[in-house]
Structure 1
Amino acid sequence: MSIVLTGSIAYDYLMTFPGYFKDHIMPERLDSISLSFLVDQMVRQRGGIAPNIAYTMALLGDKPLIFGTAGEDFEDYRQWLESHHIDTTYIRVVPGVFTASFFANTDLANNQICSFYTGAMAYARELSLETLQSRPEMVVISPNDPVAMDRYVEECKQMQIPYVYDPSQQIARSDPDELRRGVDGAYSLFVNEYEWELLQKHTGFSAEFILHRVPLVVITRGAKGASIYWQASEVDVPAVPVEKIVDPTGVGDAFRAGFLRGWRLGFNFEICGKMGSLAAAYCLEQRGTQSHYFTVEEFITRFRTHFDDAGALEVMKQPTV
């Protein structure tokens, strides 16, 4: 199954605050909040939802294709992606603007306050899936320019291409009608447990309605693992214990990558969820969204250690066609 990954392409500016945000927030003054956090660490790393998912999929032996827009500062990033066997053919570089940028400040409790600069991502609405030379079997519509996301939803419906709807960070920014169109017609929906509640609030759709309309719904729950709903049946998968929590940024993207790779290989959804949990653990143990690394053999060994399933991933040892 061929998968096209649409979504933001960005640089991440990751900062660490040596305290707790909660100690500086006064609930009775939220209408006039004014805060500045002095951070003691900052790194600039490659990020963006589509490349993050693609990177971990590539580690797992896939050759993903990214569909999106980047700025004139993208060339080094392109070389990095291509060196990891990621197809950048359909990444359009927009002259005169910079690549989108994500600014994340993380406190000692791993809570985050984030901002996102659109940059070249705003031009994603000008791209059309109809320009793809071959029809994909699945399109992932992850956080991007909201107009672009809505366009890809409509194009997938018109072209009868199944799509994974992953609105996550853009739920707060997207128009409720856009969110309703994205959900109603999706083959699969990916959200975390907070976004699950927020999505219901913004769309007016109940949980029962969404679970009835969308065949596959995956809700990640942090340290509690994930819940997978497939045609009214539910499977819960646990989180994989980590050696040390370093940075939560990009963990959800790694989970999606592990799940999608398992899906592409034809595993059942429980195995896909467990692959997602393990991929997420690797990301959580490193700073940044594309700093983790493992071989397929290492991934299989660690999977069997935590899930006690000696034969589940045997097919991963075979070369990808």
Structure 2
Amino acid sequence: MQIFISGSLAYDRIMNFGGRFSDHILPDKIHVLNVSFNVNGLKEHLGGTAGNIAYGLAQLGQRPSVLGCLGRDGQRYLDWLDAHGIETGFIRTVDEEYTAGAFITTDMADNQITGFNPGAMNHSCRFDAQRLDPAEAVVIISPGNLEDMTTLPEQCRRRGARFIFDPGQALNILDGEPLAKAIEGAMMFISNDYELEMTLRKTGLSLDELRAKVGCIVSTKAEHGSVVLNGSVRASIPAAPTDQVNDPTGAGDAYRAGLLAAMAKGRDLVEACRWGAALASFAVSCFGTQEYTVDLAEFQRRLKAIGGGEADL
């Protein structure tokens, strides 16, 4: 199976403020707000949905292809992906932009102020689906450039290629009609439970109507596991055990990577979701979305703990 991942590539710059934002904001001066916070250093992590999913797949021995855009500062991201055996030949470099970046400052009360520059993500990756082999390819369309999210599904349908639709954080920029059109004919719709409800509200579809449009629905529920709706079958998959939970960011992307890796190995949908849950348990133990390393024996142990079979990795 050839796995193509459409989505964002970004740098996450994380800063900590050693006080409370509220102590430096005058409520009666909100209309002329002008504040500055000295932060305690800066940490940079590689992120973005496409990069995170690709990294997880590489941890499980797959070589996916990324469809996305980097800016003029993107070479070290390319080097990182190349070093992990990820195909980067379809990544477009937009020289007039910087790579998408989030600038996140957190205070002592866990309040956050975030600035996000879409940068190169404002541009389509310009992937031509005629390059897909319908018999082998699976495309996951995850949050990223709006044009890619709305045109790639149609390209896949015309090509007869399987695709998974994963709207995620892009639901705030996807209107109901284009969202419903993009979902049509997907082999899978995947989201967390909040995003599933938002999708139903935006499109005006009932859950049954959404199920009629796609092959199956996978809904993740954080520590409560995930649910698979496949035809008349409903299956619940528990969250996999982990030694510690440090940062839930990126767990959903790891789940998708595990699911896709299992599909590539010919596993059925329920087993694939167990692989997703097992990989997500590694992601939550680390700060940063591409910082974990999978020990295959430990992966097998966690998979077995939630009813999974042998992982031939």
Superposition pairs for residues 188-227 of structure 1, below 5 Å?
188-227=188-227
Measure, in 2, the Cα distance between the counterparts of 1:240 and 1:41.
34
Partner of 1:118: 118
Partner of 1:183: 183
**Aligned partner letter, 1:307:** I
Partner of 1:286: 286
Which consecutive unaligned segments of at least 5 residues does structure 1 have? 25-31, 317-321
Partner of 2:61: 61
Aligned residues: 306
1:271-321 per-position Cα deviation (integer Å, ceiling 9, x unaligned)? 2111111111111110001000013333223323x2355xx12433xxxxx
Measure, in 2, the Cα distance between the counterparts of 1:214 and 1:125.
25
Taking a change above 3 Å as real, the CA distance of residues 277 and 112 of structure 1, as seen in their structure-2 partners, is: farther
Give the C-alpha shift of residue 16 in structure 1. 5.3
Measure, in 1, the Cα distance between the counterparts of 2:78 and 2:202.
36
Taking a change above 3 Å as real, the CA distance of residues 37 and 284 of structure 1, as seen in their structure-2 partners, is: farther
Measure, in 1, the Cα distance between the counterparts of 2:103 and 2:310.
36
Give the C-alpha shift of residue 103 in structure 1. 3.8
1:246 aligns with 2:246: yes
Partner of 1:307: 306
1:24-46 per-position Cα deviation (integer Å, ceiling 9, x unaligned)? 9xxxxxxx9x8989665642111
Taking a change above 3 Å as real, the CA distance of residues 201 and 308 of structure 1, as seen in their structure-2 partners, is: closer
Asked if 1 retains the 8 angstrom alpha-carbon contact of 2:101 and 2:116, the reply is yes
Moved beyond 4 Å, runs of 4+: 15-21, 34-42, 104-115, 133-136
Give the C-alpha shift of residue 212 in structure 1. 2.4
Asked if 2 retains the 8 angstrom alpha-carbon contact of 1:150 and 1:182, the reply is yes
Asked if 2 retains the 8 angstrom alpha-carbon contact of 1:240 and 1:277, the reply is yes
1:140 aligns with 2:140: yes
1:38-76 per-position Cα deviation (integer Å, ceiling 9, x unaligned)? 665642111111110010111111111111111111111
Q: Over aligned residue pairs, what C-alpha RMSD do you find? A: 2.9
TM-score by length of 1: 0.85
Measure, in 2, the Cα distance between the counterparts of 1:245 and 1:289.
13
Asked if 1 retains the 8 angstrom alpha-carbon contact of 2:258 and 2:275, the reply is yes
SS in 1 for 2:191: strand
Which consecutive unaligned segments of at least 5 residues does structure 2 have? 24-30
Partner of 1:150: 150
SS in 2 for 1:191: strand
TM-score by length of 2: 0.87
Asked if 2 retains the 8 angstrom alpha-carbon contact of 1:59 and 1:295, the reply is no
Asked if 1 retains the 8 angstrom alpha-carbon contact of 2:90 and 2:127, the reply is no
Measure, in 2, the Cα distance between the counterparts of 1:52 and 1:15.
21
Measure, in 1, the Cα distance between the counterparts of 2:20 and 2:207.
33
Measure, in 2, the Cα distance between the counterparts of 1:207 and 1:20.
42
Measure, in 2, the Cα distance between the counterparts of 1:37 and 1:264.
49
1:137-190 per-position Cα deviation (integer Å, ceiling 9, x unaligned)? 211111111112111011111111111000110011112221011122211111
**Aligned partner letter, 2:197:** E
Partner of 1:265: 265
Partner of 2:28: none
**Aligned partner letter, 2:312:** V
Percent identity reads: 32
